[in-house]
Structure formats: C-alpha cells, structure tokens
Amino acid sequence: MGNFKLGKMTLRSLFGKPATVQYPAEQVPAMSYEHMRGHVECDMDTCILCGMCQRACPVGAIAVDRKGGTWSIDQYRCIQCASCTRECPKSCLSMGASCAPATTDLAVTTLHKPVEEKPATGEGASGAGAEKPARKKVQLTPEQEARVAAARARKAAKEATRADV
C-alpha cells in the first residue's frame, strides 16, 4: 500500500505541473489574508516621533528622526513581529496584509512630518538670553510706606540680634 502511494506521488511529480514559476519571467500575485502581517503602516498625522517603535524593533528596521521630522522603515529588514505596533503610545502603527513587493533595490521607505518652527529669539522674545522687561514701579500710599518701613526696621533689628550672638 505504501509503495503504491509513493509511486502515485512520483508519477504526479514527474508529469504534473510544477509548483514553482520561473520568476521574474512569470509572476503570480502574492496571497494575502485578512489578519496577515505583511508590512508595517504608519499614520504620520498621529505619530509624535517619540521613537518608542525604534527602540522596540528587534532588528533595527525603524529609524525615527525627531529633529528632521522623519519616520523610516526598512521593509526588507522587518520580520513582521508587530512589536512596534504594540509599543506605539499613539496607536498609529498597524500591520498591513500585503507583503512588500519583490525587488533588487532594498530601498528604505521614509515618511515626513512637518516640523513646527520654533519662534526666533530676537526683540520681544522670552528666551534664556533675552533681557527681562523692567519692573514697573508701584506707587505706595503713605500707610503702605509706613508698613514697609516698619517691616524693614524689624528685619534690620533681627539681623543685628543675630550678629550679636
């Protein structure tokens, strides 16, 4: 019985259609299923360029440049583990069902996010090096002047007592 099965399989392989195709002359569309992990997709409108996905990726397929406003992925390095999609705090990463197409050019895909310009530190700016605006002098009433003078006198007396000790 076993020999009969083996013979049948051998004959089928010898005279049947091959399971493979002569790529790239002949191409068959790649199969994809609803929950298949084909490639990583990033929604740049939601992405905050925090870099969590880059740190979570076990093969270093993702690169985040916060200053330059770019998010890049090397689809041909990615092993579709989906770790990045789980770590993203903004849930802007997802796994698309289709696989990256076959290629001889291992290009990296880079997505851009507009970076907000920081306000220039010049006249009127409140940067670290900018001069503080002069404090406006408040006009005190005679009663307030007397309270301030009394407080100053008390402070001076306290300091004098401390100096004597």
Site for ligand SF4 in 27-56 (CB under 6 A): 40, 42, 47-53, 56
Q: What's at 139, amino acid-wise?
A: Q
- Helix, strand, or coil (residue 62): strand
Q: Which of 9, 22, 34, 83 binds ligand SF4 (CB under 6 A)?
A: 83
Question: Which of 36, 63, 81, 111 contacts ligand SF4 by CB under 6 A?
Answer: 81
Both tokens of 126, joined, read: 């409140």
92 part of the interface to ligand SF4, by CB under 6 A: yes
Query: Which range in 83-91, 98-106, 123-131, 154-162 contacts ligand SF4 by CB under 6 A?
Result: 83-91
Q: Could you give phi then psi for residue 86, rounded to 5 degrees? A: -75, -35
Nearer to ligand SF4, 21 or 102 (CB): 102
Please give the Cα distance from 36 to 94 (Å, whole number): 11
Both structure tokens of 82: 């989906």
Q: Which residues contact 23 (CB under 8 A, 6 or more apart)?
A: 102
Name the residues that contact ligand SF4, by CB under 6 A.
40, 42, 47-53, 56-57, 59, 61-62, 64, 71, 73, 78-84, 88, 90, 92-93
